[in-house]
A and B are shown apart, each in its own frame.
Chain A
Amino acid sequence: MNDQTRALLHAYHDGELDPGQRTDVERRLENDPELARHLDELRAVDAALGLLPVAAPATDFTQSVRTDAALELLPGTSPSVRFTQEAVSQAQVDGALELLSAADVSSGFVAGVVERAESEKQKTGAGAGEEKTGAGAGEENRGAGAARGRVLRIAGAVAAVAAAVVAGVLFLRAEPAQSRPDTAAYVPYEWETDGETYPSMALDDLEDEILKELGAT
């Protein structure tokens, strides 16, 4: 079979021919057993491709994308900023939430992110528990690992939002020093931007970094 005939057969299989061409191919198929065999093989390939597995997105997929996208709207947070997940612990998330509360941040956006992250965190925790009773050992480990990854990812987002917003609010509102949270003792997260990795740091130092980013120092 030459290349032109092969391309025509594939186009027939793909429903890409006009009615006249289609009728012509069908007539040829009736009189040419080799062409008919090639069509059968093409269909076999098509059916075999249908055996490829399908994956369901993680339950928190949309939430996670939305949080990441929202983070990019924060002032001083360039699109290239990525927070390393491993550097964020549950204690740090709790600390971030406390900071939010202490700084009296009333932004609906931040509150929404925190609320959704917390609700996802609970859902993810419950999901991991169910997997332990119902799945095999390998799946259990993988499920727990994936769940932990999601928690950390969301935790990273919350910590980042909290720290950045608190720092921004402190700067913009010029709050008196005594109303600040204990920022010197708090180490929010490790982060990297524009190819440079910053170590975990106290919020005071982070604030300086953000102010530098904003060109405000």
Chain B
Amino acid sequence: MAERSDVELMLAVRAGDMDAFACLVDRHRNGIVNLSYRYLGNRADAEDLAQEVFLRVFRARDRYRPEAKFTTWLYRVAVNASLNEVRSRKNRPTHAAANLRAGEDDDGVPMIADEDATSPHDAAEREELRAHVRAAVAELPDRQRLALLLNKFHGQGYQEIADALELTIPAVKSLLVRARESVRQRIEPYLQAGIDLWASTGSKRGTA
């Protein structure tokens, strides 16, 4: 039997099919968990946020209309949940919020392994670059951070990001330019290492 599309699964969820819901969660959990993880900078909190995203999808099942791509709707839900999460943290400072600001709590797996570096010096430099880029991303304003992550890791173009963030395309362009400029300034001493890295890993977009 052909694999059911996201829209077909969501319509089945609307009709009360819990297996279809589990299938949708399975299909998109990597993307949502990693968006949450890179947004919050903490894995345990990211899992909780990602669960909340899927529960919101479940709760909104009766209101779902298959007019847009399912992922557009899913990521809009994820963006709203992420913005709410950080808003509530600002009112209620937590240990995790401190992690977010510091860009620490490194309990994920590096996307590009240090063994790929050609020398110990390269590996050390890459590790420093990783730390700086994490800190730079953690310090970005919420919408800039989300726009950057959606573009880099979730294959989203300007229109999709605009839909998810409920902004205009010029506003999205502006967010991306400012976000990248902030990261560039933060990693300035390592720009050459970044250029070398780009040459070795190519220009393809990352994956969730």
Q: Which residues of A does B touch, CB under 8 Å?
A: 3, 6-7, 10-11, 14-16, 40-58, 61-66, 68-70, 72, 79, 142, 146, 149
Complex contact A51–B198 (CB within 8 A): no
Beyond A16-B158, A70-B18, A146-B44, whether A57 also contacts B197 by CB under 8 A is no
Helix, strand, loop or mixed for chain B's interface?
A: helix
A-side contacts of B59, CB under 8 Å: 72, 79
Q: Are B126 and A51 touching (Cβ within 8 A)?
A: yes
B18 touching A49 by the CB < 8 A rule? Answer: no
Secondary structure call for the A interface: helix
Residues 161-202 of B contacting A (Cβ, < 8 Å): 173-174, 176-177, 180, 183-184, 187, 190-195, 197-198, 201
User: Looking at the complex, which one of B34, B126, B191 makes contact with A41 (CB distance below 8 Å)?
Assistant: B191
Q: How far is the CA of A62 from the CA of B22 in the complex (A)?
A: 6
With both chains docked as a complex, state the minimum distance between the C-beta of B165 and any C-beta of chain A, in angstroms.
16
CB pair B47–A58 under 8 Å, yes or no, is: yes
Contact A48 B173 (CB under 8 A): no
Contacts A50-B206, A69-B58 given; indicate if A57 touches B47 (C-beta within 8 A): yes
28 intermolecular pairs with C-beta atoms under 8 Å apart: A6-B177, A7-B173, A11-B158, A11-B173, A41-B195, A44-B194, A44-B195, A45-B187, A47-B201, A49-B133, A49-B148, A50-B111, A50-B197, A51-B110, A52-B137, A53-B130, A54-B108, A54-B208, A55-B34, A55-B107, A56-B33, A61-B50, A65-B25, A65-B51, A65-B54, A69-B54, A70-B18, A72-B55
> Other CB < 8 Å A-B pairs besides A44-B184, A45-B194, A48-B194, 20 of them?
A6-B177, A10-B176, A10-B180, A14-B157, A41-B191, A44-B187, A44-B194, A46-B152, A47-B201, A51-B111, A52-B134, A53-B37, A53-B106, A55-B33, A55-B46, A56-B33, A57-B50, A61-B29, A65-B58, A142-B107
Q: Are B157 and A44 in contact (CB under 8 A)?
A: no
Count of CB-CB pairs between chains A and B under 8 Å: 161
Residues in chain B near residue A68, CB distance under 8 A: 51, 55
Instruction: Report A-chain residues with C-beta under 8 Å of the C-beta of B25.
Output: 61-62, 65-66
Given contacts A42-B180, A47-B198, A72-B58, contact A52 B133 (CB under 8 A): yes
Tell me the smallest distance from the CB of B157 to a CB of chain A, in Å.
6
Contacts of A46 in B (CB 8 A): 152, 180, 198, 203
Q: Mark each residue of chain B from 5 to 29: 1 if its CB lies under 8 Å from any CB of chain A, else 0.
A: 0000000000000100110011001
In angstroms, how far is the closest chain B Cβ from the Cβ of A46? 7
Residues in B neighbouring A142, C-beta threshold 8 A? 107
- The tally of residues in B whose CB lies under 8 Å from a CB in A reads 62
Q: What B residues does A50 contact at CB under 8 A? A: 111-112, 152, 197, 201, 206
Does any Cβ of A come within 8 Å of B99's Cβ? no
Interface residue? B71 (CB, 8 A):
no
CB distance from A147 to the nearest CB of B (A): 12
CA distance A116 to B75 in the complex (A): 28
| Cβ contacts under 8 Å, A58 to chain B | 47
Give the docked Cα–Cα distance between A66 and B22 (Å).
6
Chain B residues within CB distance 8 Å of chain A: 18, 21-22, 25-26, 29-30, 33-34, 37-38, 43-44, 46-47, 50-51, 54-55, 58-59, 106-112, 126, 129-130, 132-134, 137, 148, 151-153, 157-158, 173-174, 176-177, 180, 183-184, 187, 190-195, 197-198, 201, 203, 206-208
Q: How many angstroms from the CA of A206 to the CA of B47 in the assembled complex?
A: 30
A142, closest chain B residue (CB): B107
Q: Which residue of A lies closest to B27 (CB)?
A: A62
Q: Which of B26, B30, B33, B151 contacts A14 (CB 8 A)?
A: B151
